[in-house]
Structure 1
Amino acid sequence: MNSLLQQDHTHLEVLVIDDGSNDESPLLVRRIGEGDARIILVKKPHVGIAGTRNAGLSWVSETSRYVLFLDQDDILQPTVLSPSRQHIESPVRRRWRVCHS
């Protein structure tokens, strides 16, 4: 989560979906996100990765244009989101747009 919050593109919404964890993860998310309105913690019963991602999509704000799924062990370089967004929004017409991180 820290690597996401250190992105050079700061206009983002961070949805943390707690899939029924029984550890201190929700407390850690609250501490990290204290005072940061971009972070939203959603707690729900365990349903597995597909169900969790689908549940997360229902929490995405209507003004959001893109979604990036991350797992608890994923780390992003601080400049991943800006060039990815620029590539997606490029006026060059392409049949497919894929951004690797």
Structure 2
Amino acid sequence: MTTGKIASAQAPAGEDGEIGLARGERLAMRMWRDEPPNADKPTSVSAHETVGYVLKGRAELVLAGETVRLEPGDSWLVPAGIEHTYRILETFTAIEATAPPAA
């Protein structure tokens, strides 16, 4: 468990390029910073629920076959157990929270 302040400049990078932010036993935050266009993510199904908020850039979330456009100021939800992927359209920065914490 992480307590106290986590400065994004010193936060650890994950294997998929995400920046690990605050993390507890039941909830975790991470940031995707300056993901380049055409950096499509592989289709996946997660055991955790994800909510996110777009800070800058544009992407498409493909959720159970439906495409949802994400732009600055938009938030989204990916329920646990639902197949999904992201298509990065414009250099993209977003914050996500996952429950339980993503592995």
TM-score category (smaller protein): under 0.3
- Structure number, greater radius of gyration: 1
TM-score computed with the length of structure 2 as normaliser: 0.25
TM-score computed with the length of structure 1 as normaliser: 0.26
